[in-house]
Structure 1
Amino acid sequence: MIWISQSTLPGGDIGMTPFLVGIVLLIVFGIEITLVLIFRKRIIGLRKKLTSLIVAFLIYELTMWVIGGFGEIVLLESFKKPFEENIEGAFSFSSIFALLIILGLILINEKLNKKTLHNNV
């Protein structure tokens, strides 16, 4: 939303951006929740959680690539334009920002669980 308020793009591009992000997120959520339900008993350790997080990021980028008409990869396209005029950058950087937040939460959770297990022994 910060990007939308600072963008210099016309109103139609700005107005449709949240809808496109919402559609992509619904598609990605459907795919990822299905995969998590299938593999939930295997995603136990920290390494497997990090791997599943990276796979989720790649699914997001792949979905953006498919919706974009099989053009260029959105993450790579995001570095070709200035930030204020870069819809692709807004998509990719928001997913990278979310990835970092989730990574931080996973690491904090692992640290708390390890501390709790250490105190129980």
Structure 2
Amino acid sequence: EYNKLQDQIQIIHDDLKNMPEKLGHNRYDVVTCNPPYFKTPKQTEQNMNEHLRIARHEIHCTLEDVISVSSKLLKQGGKAALVHRPGRLLEIFELMKAYQIEPKRVQFVYPKQGKESNTILVEGIKGGR
């Protein structure tokens, strides 16, 4: 509404795992996601703010859920794009391959010159070689 795009954007408030049935299988050219970065922490390490805890940690959906659902939604040749953490790059590649998404591009993002990367952008193609 702020950007006057309410006629162009539809917000769906639902569980990610319901999206293939709700939106259709093999229909989309691109699926983009910024999933929770961290595996579920021990109770003592969890953020007290419930919204931050859910956004940052795999409480309601896992990395595998995100990649599995992305694969179901994508057409053959469609692209999946994720924003994540470098420490999970190998896991991302393994899961993408397990769900027929071939990793194609990786961009490391650095917070400052001389600092280590703290974010990665990963793109894969469903059914790619």
| TM-score normalized with structure 2 length | 0.24
**Normalized per residue, which structure has more helix?**
1
**Normalized per residue, which structure has more strand?**
2
| TM-score normalized with structure 1 length | 0.25
